[in-house]
Structure 1
Amino acid sequence: MKISLLMLIAFFVFATYAELEVYGHGVSSGISTRVYRVEDEIFSIQNASTEGQPIIINGKLVSLADYSQQLEISLLVTTDQFQTWSASTVIHNLQYGIQREYQEHDDWFFQTLVNPAKITLKPGETKEYEIVTMPLKAGTYHLHTQVTSDRGSQLGPGQTIIVEGVAHITSGEVYGIYVRFASLVLLGVAGIVATKKIMSNRRKRK
């Protein structure tokens, strides 16, 4: 039992350190598809407020292929909020160590509308898109247009956005950090109990 506890503590520390390193290096530009690209990504503002106007992102998708493509547009958000030491940071980073896609926080800190969210891009075609997003919590964020298809993904150059205003925990954080962490803990406890029962039954048979 003592060994298991020590291993859990070590995993917490490692996950937290790994997360700090990841956020220090930002995000990659995605898996290059070479069949379309994001151009002219423009952000309406760089400093926003939770009680102010929304952030509007305009851009273009340019086809580089000789066939039609089905593309899905979304907002990719990363944040510096989990680089400081706190209980939520440790819990968040532990989950990130288990599930790498946990870096994305678009629905935790922003309410977003994409127009259009899905498009068909024909050969040689260029189409415009617009993303309207409202920040829900103060902080520093890195926003990118994210375009995905069955051949990979691409990110726009992106922009660092500084948000002022309320800093209360959002409903997205409640679910994403605490509810999911509680679920992981319960699963872990259930696994330990089940393992102990199996080992105990084996000893009795011997």
Structure 2
Amino acid sequence: MVTGTLASLATERIEMSPYIFVTLSEVIDANGVRQEVPPYYDLLAFIYPPYRDQSSWYFRVEHRLPSSIVLEPGERVDYEIRIYPLKAGAYHVHSFFLSENFPRLGIGQTIIVTGSGAPTTGEITQLYLPLALGLASFAILMLRVMQISRKTSAHFTREKVARVYFAAKSSFETVWLAGVLFWLASAMPYLPAIEARCAFVLSASAALAAIIVAGYASAIIMPKTRHLAFAMATSAITAAFYFALLFGEGSLYSTYKVPHFFVDGLTLFAVMVANSLLAIYFAIAARNERRKNRLTSVA
């Protein structure tokens, strides 16, 4: 049980939605032996943003509060959130109140849970299943890329490298999007109460889905002129998406961002610049290809 008191120090009304936030402080194996946090934790959190929020993986949450709490200036509200553990481990559990501007995070307390160490439904749907979908999509796309290479003169050329790049890129983004969508299914009880945050997550998910579809087309579409056109458009849209993540949703400050779309600012900037350069490169390549085709048709 997580209890506490919300006190508003603001001069205006604040609307918040109650939940919890869990950080993995230790790992306890099936024999009850404490282990250190796995070294891959930070790496996975870096390359797979949904890994940052594991609250719904390991706990079921209940509370008697409204889905949205409105605090008047100076008002105080006591709260009680009941949590039911789903897997053995050591967790640092915080009360978490999502708001329109930035979340309020309680100090938290470490709790030890004993019992089964079997994977939970949250782990399966938000970690293992997205990874499986990403690997499957990459395998299918690579088979198609190999078929295209055999049918055309794209063996070991820049075109083949570009197709492989988009196959890998869109497969990685498939993992990301799948994790976000499965999380949304579990977050629906509290996220819609905060309309701005809900709108951001839904719009970012839709944009990411569009980028993935365009990436699939860039990897497998024929002929070469269409491939280059899709490659240019995909790179440009990707650059715009990462620009929005970098300067939108709380600007550069990580405290304000939804964890499932939080990527390190330097990484966002690097990816944005790289995709901008790729868009320019593919635009030039597409123009040269059209010019080459016109000369060929004239000849």
TM-score with structure 1 length normalisation? 0.61
One-letter amino acid of the counterpart of residue 74, structure 1 = Y
- Offset at 1:194? 4.7
- Does residue 1:133 correspond to 2:83, yes or no? yes
* Structure 2 unpaired stretches of 5+: 28-35, 155-222, 225-299
Equivalent residue of 2:10, what SS? coil
Q: For the aligned residues, what is the CA RMSD?
A: 2.7
| Residue of structure 1 equivalent to 2:53 | 104
* Contact kept? 1:110, 1:134, Cα under 8 Å: yes
Identity %: 31
| Residue of structure 1 equivalent to 2:14 | 69
Aligned residues: 146
- Offset at 1:101? 3.4
Q: For residues 59 and 90 of structure 2, what CA distance do their matches in structure 1 show? A: 12
- Does residue 1:142 correspond to 2:92, yes or no? yes
2:5 to 60, 63, 75: 60
| Residue of structure 1 equivalent to 2:171 | none
| Residue of structure 1 equivalent to 2:131 | 181
Q: Deviations over 1:19-42 (max 9, x none)?
A: xxxxxxxxxxxxxxxxxxxxxxxx
- Offset at 1:192? 3.0
Cα distance, 1:70–1:194 mapped onto 2, change above 3 Å:
farther
Larger RCO of the pair (alpha carbons < 8 Å, separation 6+): 1
Q: Deviations over 1:130-172 (max 9, x none)?
A: 1101111111111001112111112111011111122222222
- Offset at 1:93? 7.0
Equivalent residue of 1:72, what SS? strand
Q: Deviations over 1:78-108 (max 9, x none)?
A: 22338347xxxx6x87753433232221221
* Greater helix fraction, Structure 1 or Structure 2: 2
| Residue of structure 2 equivalent to 1:52 | none
One-letter amino acid of the counterpart of residue 49, structure 2 = R
Cα distance, 1:198–1:122 mapped onto 2, change above 3 Å:
farther
| Residue of structure 1 equivalent to 2:173 | none
* Greater strand fraction, Structure 1 or Structure 2: 1
- Does residue 1:165 correspond to 2:115, yes or no? yes
Based on CA coordinates, which of the two structures has the bigger radius of gyration? 2
* Structure 1 unpaired stretches of 5+: 1-55
Cα distance, 1:118–1:127 mapped onto 2, change above 3 Å:
same
One-letter amino acid of the counterpart of residue 153, structure 1 = P
Cα distance, 1:122–1:182 mapped onto 2, change above 3 Å:
same
Cα distance, 1:134–1:102 mapped onto 2, change above 3 Å:
same
* Contact kept? 1:95, 1:181, Cα under 8 Å: no
* Contact kept? 2:96, 2:106, Cα under 8 Å: yes
Q: How does 1:116-127 map to 2 (within 5 A)?
A: 116=65, 117-127=67-77
One-letter amino acid of the counterpart of residue 119, structure 2 = I
Cα distance, 1:177–1:197 mapped onto 2, change above 3 Å:
same
Equivalent residue of 2:103, what SS? strand
Q: For residues 125 and 173 of structure 1, what CA distance do their matches in structure 2 show? A: 38
Q: For residues 196 and 107 of structure 1, what CA distance do their matches in structure 2 show? A: 40
Cα distance, 1:203–1:167 mapped onto 2, change above 3 Å:
same
TM-score with structure 2 length normalisation? 0.43
Q: For residues 201 and 118 of structure 1, what CA distance do their matches in structure 2 show? A: 58
Q: For residues 193 and 171 of structure 1, what CA distance do their matches in structure 2 show? A: 31
Q: For residues 193 and 165 of structure 1, what CA distance do their matches in structure 2 show? A: 43
Q: For residues 42 and 127 of structure 2, what CA distance do their matches in structure 1 show? A: 9
2:63 to 96, 104, 114: 114
